Chains A and B, each alone.
Chain A
């Protein structure tokens, strides 16, 4: 079945540092998405990417849809304590009924 591999599994950084995480798949997707989950909450959509090669920003977050359609990365610039949480990549095929999630990257930010 389709699987998404996220790396790194966890990151410990200082406030103000930039962060980079990525996601790869053995299958292609039409849409790549990045979600963030805070403790005790459901995942919240951060960025959605719809075209291969697309680079999209949302404030301090920037994500790219890989040219091969099998990978994506997420960058966070100038991290702050509220960036702490679990970041999930997800892929979706047009006409499909499910969105598939990676295992997550756990981000810890030290003030």
Chain B
């Protein structure tokens, strides 16, 4: 069984740039959720993708966008980066039918915005 994998693990960008983060879901999982974890905080829900469509969204501006592909992998895109976007971005996969909140996380992509 393959777990959730994310890339890149670390990256540095400057303010105003754009970034794309990638996630491969755990085998058998068709739903992907993205979370932002600022230093010293718990994960904050960004959005969820199911059947290649956004299934729900947290309190994040439109410059945070995503995609899900037919193989259930997903991308998180952030435009016009701001200093406060510096955080660990976590991808989590789950089985939509389960509806239990049980999430399987990747190791995250640590983004630093200078």
Q: Which residue of B lies closest to A98 (CB)?
A: B45
The residues in A between 59 and 111 inclusive whose CB is less than 8 angstroms from any CB of B are 88, 90-92, 94-104
Looking at chain A, what size class is its interface with the partner chain? 20 to 34
Q: Which of A42, A43, A88, A90 contacts B101 (CB 8 A)?
A: A90
Q: Are B45 and A100 in contact (CB under 8 A)?
A: yes
> CA of A74 to CA of B78 in the docked complex: distance in angstroms?
36
Q: Are A1 and B59 in contact (CB under 8 A)?
A: yes
Looking at chain B, what size class is its interface with the partner chain? 20 to 34
Q: Are B42 and A33 in contact (CB under 8 A)?
A: no
Q: Are B48 and A97 in contact (CB under 8 A)?
A: yes
Q: Which of B35, B41, B108 contacts A103 (CB 8 A)?
A: B41
Nearest CB of chain B from residue A106's CB, rounded to whole Å: 9
Q: Are B43 and A33 in contact (CB under 8 A)?
A: no
- Can you list the 3 inter-chain pairs with the closest CB atoms, starting with the nearest? A92-B101, A97-B56, A42-B105
Point out residues on B near A: beta carbons under 8 Å.
4, 33, 35, 40-45, 48, 55-56, 58-59, 90, 92, 99-108
Point out residues on A near B: beta carbons under 8 Å.
1, 4, 6, 31, 33, 40-45, 48, 50, 88, 90-92, 94-104
Give 6 A-B contacts (CB < 8 Å), ordered by A residue: A31-B102, A33-B101, A45-B102, A98-B33, A98-B56, A100-B45
